[in-house]
Structure 1
């Protein structure tokens, strides 16, 4: 480019009349104004000395920090990928994670309520001692509630004895408090750093430098400077927000599984009746059976065509939940620290 020079007398006159800037060079002063640097000269005769920043003028990094870059932070729980670097800052210089602070929580374990359950059926024997000799199984329907039922194996023949099994207590199923902490472990947030050309001589203010940055700045991107030290830095006023990041992490977090322990406080007792007809109308006998054990019934004219069950004590007790204890942690790898502009800072473009 050509430099336009003026004789000293004309230069001083112009300077005093218009308040133009100037510099001495070989006895000749070069006069210019950043509002009108060419003074109506032809473009090929003009040498524009005014700096022009094509990105953003931001504060120079403090001692111990690298040049400013654009840093994107976002949630990674939905499985989406971080955005590509903007066209005006195309160079990917950091790709990692943040948000490793705090302990993870586990859901509160609960147990479903147990229930007293009637015998699943009766067992008839040819002998009078319920020893299973020439036995016949009289199965009740699955989940029998005690209503009249005529077992398929019922026979009009006489039996020597009839075994009535003890009632039982159903197992508790583990579950968790749906209103408490989620059982899912939240993944660390994603972080991506982008940059482009940078120049310390392209801003009018010498305390600032020109860095690549689109205008307007894409959502989620903030101007940040990276600490050159491994320890936690003190962020300067121009970049007050500290962000700990890492290039990767080891995740050993887990929650111990929810389980249930049946407490020894159940009391279940039922009256089981047997009938000589299929409609529970001809009562042959009835016996009370408890959780203490089965009962063997023997006698003449013993047979079974139908049966019913009725609760005398229906107290299944309760179960104690265990589990839901947080274990492990997230350990960052290749840690680093960034100091970023606050959301309240308005970038100067």
Structure 2
């Protein structure tokens, strides 16, 4: 089977609310769909959804870059194996656009498996296997954050992740204490994500205050790039630290291993769109196994196309701890899909249909 045509389709995702992080507020997000055809039939779809201000992808150059990849894909045969998909992606992709690499891999794997949105032939797609996820609480006014917390608890989440670092730290502690007052760490797992908001000088004191609340971990307490300071934090913190932004822009396996050895974190956060796709994710995981470092997968505000691929990757990797895959309800105009969240888990509801990609 050959790819006879490839179309790159731009889509702007509109948030249902103003999503706050320590880097600013989000109201809309650009994304691109890479659509593979055989004749007039869609045989594969992938998503390139970089995040302005975080991804190394140059957003203003995305239309030209993804059109170039589309032309390179046309005329190729669909690879037979996962390794062959990676080889073709290696031949045509530019490391400067990791989100496009993720879209290419996903579209090829979709086409390899029949164009059914099945990226991996595993239980998530075929048997409605459920994956535990964390409920995400966005930054905002105290009342807004308190409302989100109540909603997540009511919806049955037993792992809650709260973004911190944009409002008063004592207010954030108060919100976390309000959960811990009613739920023990055995009942509710609490994670926080600082997105690099703490200064190296204040970070350890803040981590000490957070640790009293029996938190599971904190993501990226200080800005990426301060390896010595991050190493000292990981060594002295009473709270487990997960690297996130620190992984951006590293492509060579030797560079990745050097980072892990220099910092020696307890966890890393893997976002395929951000770090260069599925093959890159697998490389990080192999290094984590070698150095006894934990990890979990997180979406990066993709639409349901990208989210579906990451969910299936999580299932393929046989995850058992909550993943960061609860972003499908963020948008007014997401692609309708079988992805369903219930009682703090995400699963593929085969009784629901995908919205046709051409109609977006």
TM-score (norm 2): 0.16
- Which structure is higher in helix share? 2
- Which structure is higher in strand share? 1
Structure showing greater relative contact order (alpha-carbon pairs closer than 8 Å, 6 or more residues apart): 1
TM-score (norm 1): 0.17
